[in-house]
Chains A and B, each alone.
Chain A
Amino acid sequence: MAEGGSDEFSGRLGLIFATIGAAIGTGNIWRFPRMVGANGGGSFLVPWLIFLFIWSVPLIIAEFALGKRSRTGTVGTFRIFAGKNFAWMGLWTAWISTAIGFYYAVVTGWCLNYFQTAVRGGLGSEVDTTEVWNSFLESPSDVIFFQAIAVVITMAAIWRGAKAIEKVNVILMVSLFVLLFSALFLAFVMDLNDGTLDGFVYMFSIQPEYLMEPETWISGLSQSAWSCSAGMGMAITYSVYMRKDEDTTLNAATMCLANNSISIIAGLTVMMAVFAVVDDPLSAVGAGSSAITFLVLPEVFAQAPGGPVVQVVMVTVFFLALSFAALTSMISTVELCVRNFVDHGVDRSQAVGFTSVAIFLFGLPSAALWIKMDTATGVAFPQFLEVQDHIWGYGLMFSGLFIAYSIWKYGWSRYRHWQSENDIEGFSLRDYLDNGVSSFRDDFINTGDNDWWIGKWWDYIMYLGFPIMFSVLMGSYFIDLLVNVDDPWNPSNPNGISIILLFWGITASLFIGMNRYVLVNRMVPTSSDSGPWPLYILSGDFELEPRPLYRNVPEGAEAPIDTLPGGEDDFIVQVGDALPSSFTDDYGETRAHTLATLEAELA
């Protein structure tokens, strides 16, 4: 912020709404009902609820704890918590979120388009929804137009920082609740109309045989993992704007529980409406991709009782809710990226503008490229977008792994520290458990601001549960690809394994390479005749100096970071503090920092 000083949410509600907005996305509204339908109704809710408490909540707690202490975006957080050499993990996290944002803007555009179509009565009962979908998807100008609108709305919302984000989120989320509850009521009436509440009954009936199947549990885990945005870095980003006395654990629990509450409401709405109207409701709701949302639900809502007005209202309300859910997620996605620029001294407006344009441009292929037809169903689908989702969706899991890694690393460093303090040599598991494992929890979670004390269970989950669940998710994903995809190792197969590994590998290598030259250091020309950027980089005529990192620490929220692996870095400063004028380079020489004065002045 040009004005200097820190940026923070105005109050608790602001933070809550912002984080809930980030967590609640289209996945709650279209993915959750589909998972319920495909996985045996109530049987799915059991693993879904269990994994809420052993995956989502603990991970979000960790995110809040990380962000609240580091007071920087993902790159800075990993630079501080995992150490200088691991800032690239933060970049990975930011990149995954942004890469998802590229196509998520397109998807948000779809929702907006469906909303405006619904308002204009274009989704009535006489309409062939497949035709509507196909013709929309196959006209790139329409898709791009609504994608642009989604990006512009997002840009406007975050332009002015935390307080603006907060306001927009409050408005959107409250509207979303109202809209969803109205839709739920209408769906309830629909389902009750035929004498039975079978949608409700199915959704809350446990079918034992489904509970015996591993797919149900994997589906429950994956839904929990994605739906709440756990591991995505959203919570890290928003916790930057936390006041000092904000509660990390309660916020995490609130965010996840609110997310799941919305899932239940949306799920009930969809299930009851579909069961009321469709002859074969489970095939309709449980089969196929999310495009089904755009095909089946308009058809279902168009048959709502109460005449055409109610039907238009119903479908409008639903797609408006969907749009709002998508927009709030979009906002957090862009903010996550913007925050990282701001952390490194870029002007917020510039960062927002740059990020928005990038998201729009890089989203264009997803919007218009490779629009294919599913011959089995006659439904068009965007293959480029699908491939993007295919690649980055599971890349998200690594972000979670990195968060866990930084926690493990902190615990280990505290154990080494304890060893050296007490002059103890050699590894002892007992000592490690007593003096290392719980350190993160003791030092960053169970602080005085917390109204929910977290017990040892959290350590078990982060140290044991998380790796197991991570492996199961990854393993099941790759096994699924191996089993169900033809020729999975062919790199030109967009649904194969090779293409994922290729993209992950390239991205990770690039980021690891960038770690030293871009993330924690900056390249400056050796002399004035080294030429302009990027010539001096290409010619190798550059030197490295530490890149400053500006922490956003609201008033009274100061907390020391010097015990952290990357905390003892003079160039990590609070916004408004002066940078050191010199630094010690790799050769032990003390050199003047080029930004010493400039940045100090900016601050």
Chain B
Amino acid sequence: MTTSRLSSERAKGQGTTVLAMLLPLLLSVLAPASVIAPVAAQESESGLAPQDIWSDEYSFQIFPWGGDSRVQFREYHDYFTMKQRMQNLADQNSEIMTFHDGMNGGMNARGEETNRGTYQGWHYNHDSPWMKITADVNGGDCNPFVGDCGNYEDRPDVMLAGNFHAREWMSYEVPMLFLETIAYYYGMAGVDNDGDGLIDEDGWDGIDNDGDCLMLNASYQDSNGDGNPCGPGDLGVDEDFSEQFITDMVNTREMYLIPMLNVDGNRYDREVYCGPTAWENCPTSGWRKNLRDNTVTGVTPIPDVDEEPDPSCDGVDLNRNFQYEWGAPLGATGPLFPGMCYAGDAGANNDVYNGPVDTVDQDGDNRLNEDHVDGNDDDADGLIDEDWLGGNSEPETKLIQDMTEMNDDDNDGFSDFKATLSWHSFSELVLWPWGHCTGCYSPDDEFLVYHGVKMGEMTDYAPMQSSDLYPTTGDFCDWHYGVHNSYCYTMEIGTAFHQHPDDIAHIAVRNLGVPFYMVEMADDPRYRAIVGIENTTVSQWLQEPSEVKVGNGDIPISLCLDESFPYSTDINMTHLMWRLVQPNRQQNDFGPTEWIDVPWKMSAFSTPSEGQETQCLLLDGSNGTVLYSEIPLPDTSVGKIQYKAMLGTTNGAFPFTYPTLEGGNYYELAIPYRASFGSSVLSLMMFIVIASFVWGGLGLTLRAMFDDEGGVIGLPDDYDLEDS
């Protein structure tokens, strides 16, 4: 059944594919032969060209599904073309995808009556288009509120949402690539994606597993030009993933893909604010918010006469409009006074306006906004977060919140979304909660860190807690994690809001693994982190005695950790325990060697300093990061150092020890005398002193003994021997 569907689909795409394949051929024909020949000769000396290894398609990053330049990610989609493409894909893959435009609405989880209009943009009145992806997408339970009949109790749900901020165009292109990839590869198996004759040899992990990129001439190794040769996004890295994995994911997960949440804002950015070639005039600027008309609905009393968006005042930052810790004045980049719009002031405040203050007494107790959404019962009435301060005021955020809260296939009272992902631009980061407080850590921190670092490895993006970048309030992830305990990540894609169209494809490819990772871990992110951490700890190691370099001064002991291991930097949790075991100086002459019993001491681990090795090889062969601890020991000490490492995780759940119990309780390292043995001159002087005392004294006594006439040594002058 599946194969027949496939062949028909492939036949459909054939025409465009052939055209795409001809493209490089055409190019090579056009190029003067005299230029190509010497270049080829040069390359053969120091590496291969992409075409020598891979198919021409792959070498030129031509996607196998054919299509026009938008579908090939050489040109940006706009709202209309994107929606059209989504509809086409849904039509072509109707068993696994259904296209949706907004939601039907109804009685939502918080008792509000909503309708389709609730979720439509203020200005252009579009619904946010989204795709439901799962196997047999129309054969499951129907959810009239959401309008989707692909709900299965046993399939974990995962929400993947892009373009909260209108100008961040890559944030909907990445979801589109994800969508295209699923649509094309679902049901296939064993595809040689790069045409090198191998199958599924390099999946998404950010590493060139098969080493083919390294075979390239150095000039080709950094094909995406980010300065990191053979890194994520470069040709030859993660180029041949497992299609079976994609199929499995679609069969066992429910994906809610919302590529463009902020349709209003996106249209405004493209059509009015920056224009269709925004990368030229707005590379790192543009329209961010939605198009709420603050001059009407806000506090500014002047009526909005022309009904056109007023860039100096209108709009709400959707990623500040979620309810968890909404508007908390914690140094966040929110308006100074929540709900106020500073008309005419186009500064940063305005750009992150988090929406109006709530004016409804949700619980009808005649007290307004007395229990803010923060997981606590602020007013001590037994209800939690029941009368909020604000947030969730925008159609787009309502869509997210209601979609999240109205998806409870198993009716357990909790949202089904255990994993959620939002795409943003730019900065090349992977972020996780919390965003609303600095120096604070969530109870799941070490697990969030674990997955975050994994995705960071996949993309070579920097993983960090959201608030370490800057504090934010009311963002998507704080709300998802804080209210629904969903493992929520934010990808900050690329290096500009409006990337040049030439960069769309490789940036999208670089980010393709992340949504799949999120989809995979959606079944139980916490458990997957625990298992991952435990597997990780098995391959981590403490330096063995034979590997330790004992030089002069402190003795460095290294600990090789998986890059994603969420170790605690608290010395009480993570430290080297050591003691110097010396033979007792009052040694019995005939018994076994006696040792002094000394208590264990603690030394902190720290990251490598200048000149120290930063990389190590984990036991499973992958790269790890090194931590160093120093055993302070004077050079004159002799004995055996016994040492072991205690490795705590950020929330203290897993105190690991190295060596493991199976490997013995501790390592033992013999410490030789390392100080100088002394100065020759001084030792000679000392020898003379000792010798003159002992041998000189001996000579003196012997001489005195045999010399009877010599008189008595040391006899006082006034002493007469005969008297005594």
Chain A residues with a Cβ under 8 A of chain B: 12, 16, 27, 30-31, 34, 38-42, 45, 49, 52, 103, 107, 197-198, 200-207, 209-210, 215, 218-219, 222, 247, 250-251, 253-254, 257-258, 260-261, 264, 275, 279-283, 286-291, 372, 374, 376-377, 379, 381-383, 385-386, 389-390, 393, 442-443, 446-448, 450-455, 476-477, 480, 483-484, 495
Contacts and interface: CB of A to CB of B under 8 A. Distances in A.
B683 interface: yes
20 contacts: A16-B705, A34-B587, A45-B690, A206-B686, A207-B675, A210-B636, A222-B586, A257-B697, A283-B670, A287-B587, A287-B639, A376-B593, A377-B593, A386-B588, A446-B724, A451-B708, A451-B712, A451-B713, A452-B704, A484-B596
Given A205-B677, A281-B673, A480-B586, A261 B695 contact: yes
Given A40-B636, A451-B713, A261 B587 contact: no
B686 A376 contact: no
A42 B584 CA distance: 19
Contact of A39 (B585, B677, B682): B585
A257 B634 CA distance: 35
Contacts of B588: 289, 386, 389-390, 495
Contact of B687 (A204, A219, A251, A281): A204
B37 interface: no
B715 interface: yes
A477 B634 contact: no
B712 A290 contact: no
Nearest to B691: A264
A250 B701 contact: yes
B80 interface: no
Nearest to B702: A254
Given A107-B590, A286-B638, A376-B593, 17 more contacts: A27-B589, A201-B683, A202-B677, A205-B683, A207-B636, A209-B634, A215-B585, A219-B586, A222-B586, A282-B673, A288-B587, A289-B589, A289-B592, A289-B593, A291-B590, A377-B592, A455-B714
Contacts of A107: 590
Nearest to B711: A451
Nearest to B596: A484
B234 to A, nearest CB: 49
B694 interface: yes
A48 to B, nearest CB: 9
Contacts of A377: 592-593
A260 B683 contact: no
Contacts of A103: 590
A12 B706 contact: yes
Contacts of A200: 683, 687
Contacts of B591: 289, 381, 383, 386, 389-390, 495
A446 B698 contact: no
Contacts of A251: 705
A1 B339 CA distance: 122
A569 to B, nearest CB: 25
A134 to B, nearest CB: 13
Contacts of A282: 638, 672-673
A290 B583 CA distance: 13
Nearest to B693: A49
Contacts of A38: 583, 585, 587
B592 A283 contact: no
Nearest to A209: B636
A335 B684 CA distance: 41
A206 B682 CA distance: 9
Contact of A42 (B583, B590, B686): B686
Given A253-B697, A483-B597, A443 B724 contact: yes
Contacts of A261: 694-695, 698
B638 A453 contact: no
Contacts of B704: 247, 250, 451-452
Given A31-B589, A477-B586, A205 B721 contact: no
A249 to B, nearest CB: 9
A483 B715 CA distance: 48
B593 A288 contact: yes
A161 to B, nearest CB: 23
A376 B592 contact: yes
Nearest to B716: A453
B583 A386 contact: no
B315 to A, nearest CB: 72
Secondary structure dominating the interface of A: helix
- List of 5 A-B pairs having minimum Cβ-Cβ separation, nearest first: A205-B678, A374-B592, A280-B672, A204-B683, A386-B591
A262 to B, nearest CB: 10
B593 to A, nearest CB: 4
Nearest to A268: B687
A103 B589 CA distance: 12
Given A38-B585, A282-B638, A446 B687 contact: no
Nearest to B638: A282
B426 to A, nearest CB: 58
A253 B701 contact: yes
B590 A381 contact: yes
A219 B586 CA distance: 7
A445 B672 CA distance: 49
Contact of B715 (A42, A264, A453): A453
A233 B721 CA distance: 28
A108 to B, nearest CB: 13
A257 B698 contact: yes
Contacts of A41: 677-678
A210 B634 CA distance: 12
Nearest to A483: B597
A265 to B, nearest CB: 10
Contact of A260 (B593, B680, B694): B694
Contacts of A258: 698
A450 B587 CA distance: 39
A290 B589 contact: yes
A201 B678 contact: yes
B443 interface: no
Q: Pick from A204, A376, A443 the residue with the most CB of B within 10 Å.
A: A204
A289 B586 CA distance: 10
B439 interface: no
Nearest to A41: B678
A453 B597 contact: no
A373 to B, nearest CB: 8
Contacts of B7: none
A495 B724 CA distance: 50
B590 A12 contact: no
Nearest to A57: B697
A215 B584 CA distance: 10
Contacts of B675: 207
A258 B712 CA distance: 21
A159 to B, nearest CB: 29
Q: Pick from A215, A247, A451 the residue with the most CB of B within 10 Å.
A: A451
B678 A204 contact: yes
Contact of A45 (B678, B686, B724): B686
B678 A42 contact: yes
Contact of A288 (B583, B670, B715): B583
A204 B636 contact: no
A403 B710 CA distance: 31
A501 to B, nearest CB: 17
